[in-house]
Amino acid sequence: NSFPGAGVLPPLGWQTAGPAAGGVGLSVEELRRDRAAYNDLVLSKMRPQEYVEDIWKAVAEDQELGAVGPVVPLDDAHRAKVLLCRWLTVREEREKGWRTRCVDHETECGLNPATRVTERTANGSLFVLISAILMFLGAGLNPLCWKRDISKAFRRVPIRASDHDLYWFAWLDAGKVWIAGHRGCPFGAVAAVQNWHRCANLLQIAVLVLGGACVEKYVDDFFGCSRDDVLCCGGFLVTILALSLIHI
């Protein structure tokens, strides 16, 4: 299966914060018609970036995952056939030290304005976990809390083939522009947030219904609790189902 990358996205149906605000935006047909102008705008703003070696590393990791296609130098044929966006580097300090995250500037290139959502996403709350812990304690059971973080969650969600031409990214290295096409949803795209939310809902419902386990989620973090004598807790089910259901 794959997910739409632009246009009017289907309703989410579960864990939503109500209808999304309407807007005129841009049509996908207009975006494809004018992509040469958008590409010229994007390329005019290309600048050398720090940590460019991390960009190449991120591309290699995404290629191994199947989320990115071959890297090629920019030529006139690509400028006319695909939509380009700038790949920006953002530095983050984590527990293990600093890391570089690559983010698509999908608003500048027109992709986000050409994507409309019908419902706003909603994330879970710690109150669910607290309520479950209190329920376990009230029943005289010892709750064991767990948490799972889905690695590269957005990147594991495949973009439908008909939208691949809208998901190309570019970066500058040693005075030369390099480009590649996304196959998995990138950070920075409106569709990535909506499509992952749909996948996460599926995982959560599967754990609730098939496993009868307490589980809540916040974007790509799943958490819950179980009896301390249960071997296959909700976290174990999340891990197994994520590997089975979410892939490129």
Of 152 and 25, the structure prediction assigns the larger pLDDT to 152
What is the predicted pLDDT for the residue at 243? Answer: 77
What is the predicted pLDDT for the residue at 161? Answer: 96
What is the predicted pLDDT for the residue at 245? Answer: 62
What is the predicted pLDDT for the residue at 247? Answer: 57
Q: What is the mean pLDDT of residues 134-145?
A: 92
> What contacts 24+ positions apart, CB below 8 Å, involve 55-61?
55/87, 55/89, 55/100, 55/102, 55/171, 55/173, 56/173, 58/100, 58/102, 59/180
Quick one: what percent of the chain has pLDDT higher than 90?
A: 71
- Whether 181 contacts 78, CB under 8 Å: no
- Both tokens of 204, joined, read 């959560």
What is the predicted pLDDT for the residue at 197? Answer: 95
Kindly state the DSSP code that residue 67 receives in the 8-state scheme: S
Residue 248 has pLDDT above 60, yes or no: no
Residue 139 has pLDDT above 80, yes or no: yes
pLDDT digits (tens, 9 = 90+) for 101-128: 999 999 999 999 999 999 999 998 889 8
pLDDT digits (tens, 9 = 90+) for 4-47: 999 999 999 888 988 887 666 899 999 999 999 999 999 999 99
Euclidean distance between CA atoms 27 and 29, whole angstroms? 5
| H or E segment to which residue 116 belongs | strand 115-116
Q: What is the mean pLDDT of residues 190-195?
A: 96
- Whether 159 contacts 185, CB under 8 Å: yes
Residue 146 has pLDDT above 70, yes or no: yes
pLDDT digits (tens, 9 = 90+) for 62-108: 999 999 999 999 999 998 899 999 999 998 888 888 989 999 999 99
Characterize the bridge pairing of strands 221-227 and 97-104: unpaired
**pLDDT class of 246 with cuts at 50, 70, 90:** low
For the ranges 39-48, 91-100, 173-182, 239-248, the lowest mean pLDDT is seen at 239-248
